[in-house]
Amino acid sequence: MKLTKITSRDEDFAKWYTDVCMAANLVSYSNIKGSMIICPNGYAIWEEIQKIMDAEFKKLGHQNVQMPLFIPESLLNVEKEHVEGFAPEVAWVTHGGDEKLEERLCVRPTSEVLFCDYYKNVIKSYRDLPKLYNQWCTIVRWEKTTRPFLRSREILWQEGHTMHETEDEAINETLQMLHVYEDFQRNYLALPVIVGLKTEKEKFAGAIKTYTIEAMMYDGVALQNGTSHYFGNHFAKAFNISFLDRDNKLQTPYQTSWGTTTRMIGAIIMTHGDDHGLVLPPKIAPTKVIIIPIGNDEKIQKTVNEIAKQLDVSFEIDNSNKSPGFKFSESEVKGIPIRLEVGQRDLENNEITLVRRDTLEKIKIKVNEVKNEVEKYLEIIQKDMYNKALARRNSMLYTANDYEEFKNIAQNKPGFIKINWCGNEECETKIKDETGLKSRCILLDEESDGNCIICHKKGLHKIYFGKQY
């Protein structure tokens, strides 16, 4: 038996990424173009993500529901900007069994119109507000090119859709959920994400404001890793949703939506992975520890059992008849945060060897201290992984004071470039057309301090540009 060879990360990042996805048994290509199979190791990570995020959503009062999979064409057409954004990339169902449908249905690419169609029936009074609903489901967008987790025709995701009495409340919800995403990705996925506002050009079809979570991958390329939208009452008006307010007057409610996908798994791989394979942040790793006995004499097996009894985190024991070296490699490919090697020589000193996946450092620990040592190192690894990713990200953040400098950086250095920008789409488009870099996000906590690097008019925003997946 041999492990699949992984291409070196610095040699061919794209190939490295695919190799890791396959070698760690995260996904498999299917024979259906554009669809991937999420294999056990990949799906287990998604289950961890779901468990943590879902609990967070519920803590904030959100409830899960399940809306229809299909959207009739006429319903998709209700909000003009929205349909223009999505119609080109939906899958159309035209027949049920042998019968041609009277109206064709698209497989939902997102569910704003489905939620609105429902809210229309159930929102009558201010007492019915807020509605704080979320669903975990599959959506379909007819992408031409696909890559595991990053871009595929079917996407597993969660989408929150809320309705509120006031504009303020809806804006607060939009920002609250943005920060829920930010905190989750920082604290659990160890991703040093940048949050900000999308430009008018890049915002969601139909939204007033789109906030975004921008992660930077190992190669300096951006991955949009979650968005939170404020809709005002665009959709509510288009769908005739209204309620009697506290003064018995008819009002239109204010709406948000927010979503994250299995793309987050892609971000974990491309931020933390190395030439040995996947590296999982401990807090999201389905298996946090793997125990590998070296040899199977009685004392070793006894120690393995002792350790298993001590541990208070999810672990596996590899008792297969593969060679120790193979088992070590396999645990590395899978990204299990801590490996405990139990061997004859160490045991003479009542020790075993703890191997950190993130650094591959080997540390001798006492058998009777395994529980504490494991918990200590899980915390250290989580923190170190974040800091390492942060340092790398910071080393690829640039500021350009003029367009020449911008083009120079864009051509030579991967990463994000910060500039002053006038806010006009023309300047944004010029940059994109001439350099290939798209706007990532307008900074929320930093104001413009100079003129637009393109038109030299007064700067309105600080904004990041970068290449994207």
Binding site for its own copies (CB under 8 A): 28, 30-32, 35-40, 43-44, 46-47, 63-72, 75, 87-98, 104-105, 107, 114, 117-118, 121-122, 133, 137-138, 140, 142, 153-154, 156
Identity of the residue, 114 or 291, whose beta carbon is nearer to its own copies in the bound complex: 114
Coil vs helix vs strand at 344: helix
Please name the residues in contact with 73: beta carbons below 8 A apart, sequence gap of 6 or more: 103, 104, 105, 106
Instruction: Quote the least distance from Cβ 256 to its own copies, whole Å.
Output: 18
Q: Given the complex with its own copies, which of 71 and 410 has the nearer CB atom?
A: 71
Q: Residue 89 in contact with residue 209, Cβ under 8 Å? A: no
The smaller minimum CB distance to its own copies, of residues 44 and 347, is found at 44
Quick one: 158 or 303, whose CB is closer to its own copies?
Answer: 158
Count Cβ neighbours within 10 Å for each residue of 194-225 and write b for 16 or more, e otherwise: bbbbbbeebbbbbbbbbbbbbbbbbbbbbbbb
Q: Given the complex with its own copies, which of 70 and 326 has the nearer CB atom? A: 70
Residue 451 neighbours by CB under 8 Å, 6+ apart: 420, 422, 457, 458, 459
Q: How many residues does the chain have?
A: 469
> Nearest distance from residue 250's CB to its own copies, in Å?
19
Half-sphere exposure of residue 29, counting CA atoms within 13 Å on the CB side?
7
Q: Judged by CB, which is closer to its own copies: 2, or 95?
A: 95
Q: CA–CA separation, 348 vs 94, rounded Å? A: 71
Cβ neighbours of residue 253 under 8 Å, at least 6 residues apart? 119, 123, 129, 163, 164, 165, 233, 236, 241, 242, 243
